[in-house]
Structures are given as structure tokens and as C-alpha cells.
Amino acid sequence: MNILVTGGAGYIGSHTCVALLEAGHTVIVADNLCNSSAETLERVKQITGREITFYQIDVTDAAATNTIFANHSIDGVIHFAGLKAVGESVEKPLVYYYNNIVSTMVLAQACLKYGVPRFVFSSSATVYGENQVPFVEDMPLLPSTNPYGESKAMSERILTDIAKANPDWSVALLRYFNPVGAHESGLIGEAPAGIPNNLMPYITQVAKGKLDKLRVFGNDYPTVDGTGVRDYIHVLDLAEGHVTALAKLTAGVHIYNLGTGHGVSVLQLVQAFKEANGLDLPYEIAARRPGDIAECYADASKAERDWGWTAKRNLVAMCRDAWRFEKSVSRGRFL
């Protein structure tokens, strides 16, 4: 299939390009490079030995986006392009709502105009809010405490309504848990700008000596050891979930969790990282981070039952691959 991957130069998008190319699909990337670099796409080509057609455009720009649909016979869209920093979304709500929602509407409109039957959307476990774990796809969503999460819930709603009105259209709403790790080549991975917000890149930067120690945000949660519990999933497992979604998608709206179904605490991840890589990792206990929930992990059984998809790579692989990539990033990030 010819697949348009928006945000294909980003962290999850680039790994998904690898998985798509390896599965034999043709990949067209649309990315404005606001949080990535074209160098990443060169590395995807290096890994796969395949070509990618790249458009440096903003997918909120309907004219530029429509040009891609006019130039290619597209069979499916995977919409990764979006802004994702929770804290920044509180500071700049309009920027987040505009970018994340308008991009979704522009792409949906182009799909309908050009008769593109498949749409796969990057949603997030954040839409479950403070529901009871494990999170199941048919739970009522709870309001987020931030515009980023709301932009995902609203995009889900918009796509659901459009699909209802266009019964031949196929939409997958994929709710990602916590993607970590990198391609085993060490060529592509997560290289956030500035001080990382997320745990794994923070850990790898402490291990490298770029940051002096990890601050563990709270050890008084009602969890196994008091620290926050999350469902970490290897980014390549997540990437392969998209290839499966494209293959299995039928008409209508289909919601799937992409997680492992296992909760891991902050201290358990620190321990796993130390053991996997034979390193020490200095940390201290700090105050809770505002907005954090105690536990977030998937009921991952629906994707397995319907699609035969499960995450295969374990915590050791996630820690080793994340560290291998961090060691290989000489300039800090590809920008």
C-alpha cells in the first residue's frame, strides 16, 4: 500500500516508517520538522535500503496537504503529526488545539475528497484520565487536566463522527501507552530538545552524565513501591502495531490500546535499566509532579484477540536499546 505518514520524521513516526518499509509498503512522509530533522529519514533509508518521498509541509495547511493526495494514489494515512508536551500545552493551549485538531480535520477532509479509505490516528492513554486500571477501550473517557489530552479526546470524537457519516471509511484510534527504546541499530530513537519531560530519556541522559541525577516524582502513591506505575512499550512493537492496524482495518471506527498490559514503577524501571546496561544511576526522591496519576496501564487483550498483535520486546530490550541510542547521539539531538 501507499501510506502517507504525517509526523514521519518524529520518534514514533520514524520507527513506523521502518516497520512499514520492511513490510513492503511505500511510504510518503509529511512533516514540518518542528520537532525532528530530515536526517532521521536518511537514517530510516539507511536501515531499510528503501526510498521515502518526503514533503516538508505543515499538515494544518490544507492546500499543501491536498497536493500530496493529488500527487499520489494513497491507500492509507497514519497521522502522527502533533505537539505532545503536556506542560507546554497548558502554557499555549491555542497552539496545541490548533495544531492537533486542525491537522486531523485537514487530513480527514483530504481522505474523503480523494477517496482514501484508511485513517490511523495517534491517540494516547491520557484520554482515560483517572479511570481504574487496567484501562479498557470501552471505558468512558475522563476529562484531562491539560489541553494536550483534550486535543486527543476531541480528535477521537471528530474522527468518530466523520466515520459515522461516511460508513465506508475505516478509522483506527490507537491509544499508546508509554513508548520507550529505539531501533536496535542505534540510528534512530528519541532525542528530545532541552531537558527531557519523560522518564526514559531523562534516565539515559543521567546515565550519560548530561544530567546529574534522576528526580523520582513521588514515592507515596498507592503502588507497589510508592512510585508511579506506567505501561512502557518498546517503540518498535508500537510501530508494528500500526502495520497490523492497516492490514486488519475494516469499515467503521475501531479503538485499540497499544500497550503491554504490564505496569512498571519508576524504581522498577531504574533497576531494570541498571541491570540491563551494567550501570549505576543516581536518583533522589522528589515531590509529586502536578497532574500525574498513580497508575496507568493497558488491558491489551483486544488487539491480541482481534488482530493477533502483542508487544514482544521486554523491559531489558527497551533499556538496552534506549541506552544504545543515547550513546550514539553525538549532537544531543538531530536538529
For residues 214 and 289, the answer to whether their CB atoms sit within 8 Å is no
101 counts as binding ligand NAD under rule CB under 6 A: no
Per the annotation, the verdict on 148 as an active-site residue is: yes
322: partner contacted, choices ligand NAD, ligand WQD, none (Cβ within 5-8 A by kind)? none
3-state secondary structure of 57: coil
Binding-site member from 3, 4, 5, 13 for ligand NAD (CB under 6 A): 13
Report the residue from 76, 82, 129, 196 that binds ligand NAD according to the rule CB under 6 A.
Answer: 82
- Which of ligand WQD, ligand NAD, none does 202 bind, CB closer than 5 to 8 A by kind? ligand WQD
82 makes contact, choosing from ligand WQD, ligand NAD, none, with CB < 5 to 8 Å by partner type, with ligand NAD
Among 131, 197, 268, 314, contact with ligand WQD (rule: CB under 6 A) = 197
- 58: partner contacted, choices ligand NAD, ligand WQD, none (Cβ within 5-8 A by kind): ligand NAD
| Active-site entry in 11, 96, 148, 202 | 148
Taking CA atoms, 21 is separated from 8, 44, 47, 239, in Å, by: 12, 9, 10, 11
For position 266 contacting ligand WQD by CB under 6 A, the verdict is: yes
- Told to check if 218 binds ligand NAD by CB under 6 A, we report no
Per rule CB under 6 A, count of chain residues that contact ligand NAD: 29
Position 237 contacts ligand NAD (CB under 6 A) = no
CA 134/CA 45 separation, integer angstroms: 38
Q: Which is nearer to ligand NAD, 58 or 326 (CB)?
A: 58
**What's the CA gap between 30 and 58, in Å, rounded?**
8
Compose the 178-207 pattern: x for residues touching ligand NAD by CB under 6 A, - for all others.
xx----------------------------
**Who contacts 256 (Cβ-Cβ below 8 Å, separation ≥6)?**
137, 172, 173, 174, 175, 241, 245, 302, 303, 306, 307
The footprint of ligand WQD on residues 140-179 (CB under 6 A) is 178
3-state DSSP call for residue 118?
A: strand
Read out DSSP for 201-262? HHHHHHHHTSSS-EEEE-S-SSSSSSS-EE-EEEHHHHHHHHHHHHHH--SEEEEEEES-S-
Nearest to ligand NAD of 173, 206 (CB atom): 173
C-alpha span between 28 and 26 (Å, rounded)? 7
The span from the CA of 126 to the CA of 168, in Å, is 29
Q: Which of 3, 25, 60, 150 binds ligand NAD (CB under 6 A)?
A: 60
Range in contact with ligand NAD (rule: CB under 6 A) among 21-29, 174-182, 206-214, 266-274: 174-182
Which of the choices ligand WQD, ligand NAD, none does residue 292 contact, using the CB cut-off of 5 to 8 A by kind? Answer: ligand WQD
Which of 83, 162, 82, 66 is closest to 119 using CA atoms? 162
**DSSP characters for 278-333?**
T----EEEEPPPTT--SEE-B--HHHHHHH-------HHHHHHHHHHHHHH-SSSS
Q: Which residues are catalytic?
A: 148
Interface residues with ligand NAD (CB under 6 A) are 6-7, 9-13, 30-36, 58-60, 80-84, 99, 103, 122, 124, 176, 178-179
Interface residues with ligand WQD (CB under 6 A) are 84, 86, 124, 126, 178, 197-199, 202, 214-217, 228, 230, 266, 289, 292, 296
